[in-house]
Amino acid sequence: QSALTQPASVSGSPGQSITISCTGTSSDVGGYNYVSWYQQHPGKAPKLMIYDVNNRPSGVSNRFSGSKSGNTASLTISGLQAEDEADYYCSSYTISSTPLVFGTGTKVTVL
């Protein structure tokens, strides 16, 4: 099972909105509404930001939102802040023998 495809980097200025894509296939992203997004700051453990495509855990800012269209899921960060600078990973359930696959990761830079 190959990793889901994410852009290596995305950048934006404070206050702007950015969108990170996560592209898979009909066997993973397109076939199930089980896409999650994680934020990871350098040297820290990942943090769950979105689950089941568009659900936010309690305590996560509503500036973070998720969506999906076909085989591509997206994470949008609105009102970009300096603290949002981190690596972001998507994940999806997959029908393959390895049931969970992560994306390649995207480094978000706040200009």
Partner 1 sequence: EVQLLESGGGLVQPGGSLRLSCAASGFTFSSYAMSWVRQAPGKGLEWVSSIRDSGGSTYYADSVRGRFTISRDNSKNTLFLQMDSLRAEDAAVYYCAKTLVGATFKWDYWGQGTLVTVSS
Nearest by Cα to 39 from 64, 72, 15, 16: 64
Nearest by Cα to 89 from 72, 74, 106: 106
Nearest approach, Cβ of residue 21 and partner 1 (Å): 16
Nearer to partner 1, 17 or 50 (CB): 50
In angstroms, how far is CA 44 from the centroid of its own chain? 17
The values of phi and psi at residue 49, to 5°, are: -110, -35
Nearer to partner 1, 57 or 70 (CB): 57
Contacts with partner 1 by CB under 8 A lie at: 1, 3, 34, 36, 38, 40, 44-48, 51-52, 57, 89, 91, 93, 97-105
Nearer to partner 1, 38 or 77 (CB): 38
